[in-house]
Amino acid sequence: MAQMNIDGECDSRFARVREAFAENFAKRGDVGAAVAVTIDGRPVIDLWGGHADKDRTRPWTRDTIVNVYSATKGVAATCLNRLADQGRVDLDAPVARYWPEFAQAGKERLLVRWLLSHRAGLPAVRKELPSDALLRWDLMTAALAEQEPWWAPNTKHGYHALTFGYLVGEVIRRVTGKAPAHIAARKSRGRSESISISGLTRATTRAAPR
């Protein structure tokens, strides 16, 4: 295999990261990827390489846009934990305290912290939903409120790949009155900022996050 060209910048202290990134192409069959790290607000790693398509016809560039997948789970969890820090949410309280409809199907004692730890027993909805269900917040949260847990809450762990955002986000929405699928407020470097929880904002539709 030809030597993969890795573009971007990497602080010399993190040379091993650049090496590991290159190894993903040389040894693990990676097609295209990027990695970026900031420390105390300063970029120390910003690398990209490979191709943006499986046929390897489009080079991966600095501004290649990619799916973020579960990266937003951490944002949602951070927002909920900030509400807990502010005393607006009790992680040991039942979810139904903030989201009354959630008490259906034996979930009246299911705790908020179990949503965060993927122990709620709600990784999916059993009933058939429309093909666009994942794009309809109210439909998904109503379906999850009706859903009986797949296992007794807090007895097992199961990754809530497609439901985590709705479960945690609806608690945030009920407490703040804001739609967490769009905007979450945070304090950063002494000023209030807005960050996107899901999807691309108008400011990021032309460039990939980095």
70 is catalytic: yes
Class of domain 71-187: alpha beta
Report pLDDT for 203: 41
Share of the chain above pLDDT 90, in %: 74
Instruction: Express each pLDDT in 25-65 by its tens digit.
Output: 999 999 999 999 999 999 999 999 999 999 999 999 999 99
Residue 210 predicted with pLDDT over 50: no
Of 12, 70, 117, 196, the catalytic one is: 70
User: How crowded is the C-beta side of 30, counted as CA atoms within 13 Å?
Assistant: 19
Residue 193 predicted with pLDDT over 60: no
Burial class (CB in 10 A: 0-12, 13-18, 19+), 8: middle
Report pLDDT for 134: 94
If one compares 179 and 15, the residue with the highest pLDDT of the two is: 15
- Enumerate the CATH 3.40.710.10 domain ranges in the chain, comma separated: 71-187
Contact between 98 and 89 (Cβ < 8 Å):
yes
